[in-house]
Amino acid sequence: MHDLHEADKILKLILKNAKANKFNKVTKAEIDLGQIIEHGAEILDENLHFNIIILAKGTIAEGLEININKIKATHWILKNIEGE
């Protein structure tokens, strides 16, 4: 469940940046993911990826490609988005 919460925050940031860039469609997002422990469990990149894909359905980010890079940190960073 904690993965879903972080995925929601990331998707909201993706959509905010897409709006600022006047994108009609988000095609790609790059995220740096550190070791985040929430409610006693680590947020895993594959779960985060899955949840972003699910949450993006019905938005301008539906079908986007997501690249998640593991970093030595305790947070995540939205590095880049691409779109049309």
Alpha carbons 57 and 42: distance in angstroms, whole number: 25
With a cut of 80, say whether residue 1 has pLDDT above it: no
Rg (alpha carbons) of the chain, rounded to whole number: 12
CATH number of 46's domain: 3.30.2320.50
> 60 or 37, which is more confident?
60
17-26, 35-44, 51-60, 68-77: segment of lowest average pLDDT: 35-44
Residues 35-46 pLDDT 10s: 988 878 889 999
- One-letter amino acid for residue 43 of the chain: I
Number of domains in the chain: 1
Question: 10 Å Cβ neighbour count for 23?
Answer: 18
Residue-range definition of the domain harbouring residue 35: 2-83
* Confidence (pTM): 0.93
Percentage of the chain lying above the pLDDT 70 cut: 98
> Do residues 36 and 74 lie in contact, with contact meaning Cβ atoms separated by under 8 Å?
yes
Strands 26-33, 65-70: pairing is parallel
